Amino acid sequence: MGIDFSHFVKPNLKIISLHSTTLKFYFCLNMKKYVLFYGLLAFSMLMLFQLSSLAIFKVGASRDWILLVVAVVSIGIGIFYSKAQSSKNQIAEVSDTENLVHYSNSGLTEREYEVLELLNLGFSNKEVGEKLFISENTVKTHVSNLLLKLNAKRRTQAIKNAKDLKIIS
């Protein structure tokens, strides 16, 4: 269910994360494209260098102009490359729009899930404790375990990760 059980921080605390096989699969599919892309890139750079030699010796173009052309083309390549990468990331993020993962399949305990839901509603530890009839210290313990399991440094990040993992909505 999209959970990686391979990372063990504590014996009973498993880090929840997006399944890695999907990414691996995607990577293997695109290896050919990567090789092709970088091969073409290297080839075109070489051609550019050769062209610059031709331009200098046959046409008599100035060195600054050659540099300018190379710089502009390279900036264009950089922008193109960056946009290609970012579009892939966007697709990966949007790709799976399914139902929520039940908390029992999410790696969280029932109590941790309850705490997480209240965090998502914007309550403080104290308020969560009042709503669940437990002490603030207990809430802190749940939140700490929550952060470990969701691989987050802050409650806001935990909420974000949990939403990405479809644990909460």
Which H helix or E strand runs over 125? helix 125-132
Sole window of 17-25, 60-68, 84-92, 94-102 interacting with DNA (rule: CB under 7 A): 17-25
| Least distance (Å) between residue 145 CB and DNA | 7
- Cβ atoms < 10 Å from Cβ of 100: 14
- Please give the sequence-ordered ranges of beta strands (E in DSSP) within 11-159, or none if there are none: 13-14
Binding mask 83-102 for its own copies (x = CB under 8 A): x--x---x------------
Q: Beta partners for 13?
A: 10
CA of residue 100 relative to chain centroid, distance:
20
Among 25, 37, 38, 81, indicate the residue that binds DNA (CB under 7 A).
Answer: 25
| Least distance (Å) between residue 47 CB and its own copies | 12
Number of residues that bind its own copies (CB under 8 A): 43
Check binding of 75 to its own copies (CB under 8 A): yes
Binding mask 94-113 for DNA (x = CB under 7 A): ---------------xxxx-
> Most distant CA pair in the chain: distance in Å?
85
Check binding of 69 to DNA (CB under 7 A): no
Residue 121 three-state SS: coil
Question: Out of DNA, its own copies, none, which partner does residue 45 contact, by CB within 5 to 8 A per kind?
Answer: its own copies
Residue numbers 5-44 binding its own copies by CB under 8 A: none
Among 64, 97, 98, 133, indicate the residue that binds its own copies (CB under 8 A).
Answer: 64
Cα–Cα distance measured from residue 82 to residue 73, given in angstroms and rounded to the nearest whole number? 14
Cα–Cα distance measured from residue 20 to residue 66, given in angstroms and rounded to the nearest whole number? 45
**Residue 150: partners with Cβ closer than 8 Å, 6 or more residues away:** 15, 16, 157, 158, 161, 162, 165
- Kindly list the residues in this chain that would bind its own copies in the complex (CB under 8 A): 45, 48-49, 52-53, 56, 63-64, 66-68, 70-83, 86, 90, 119-124, 152-161
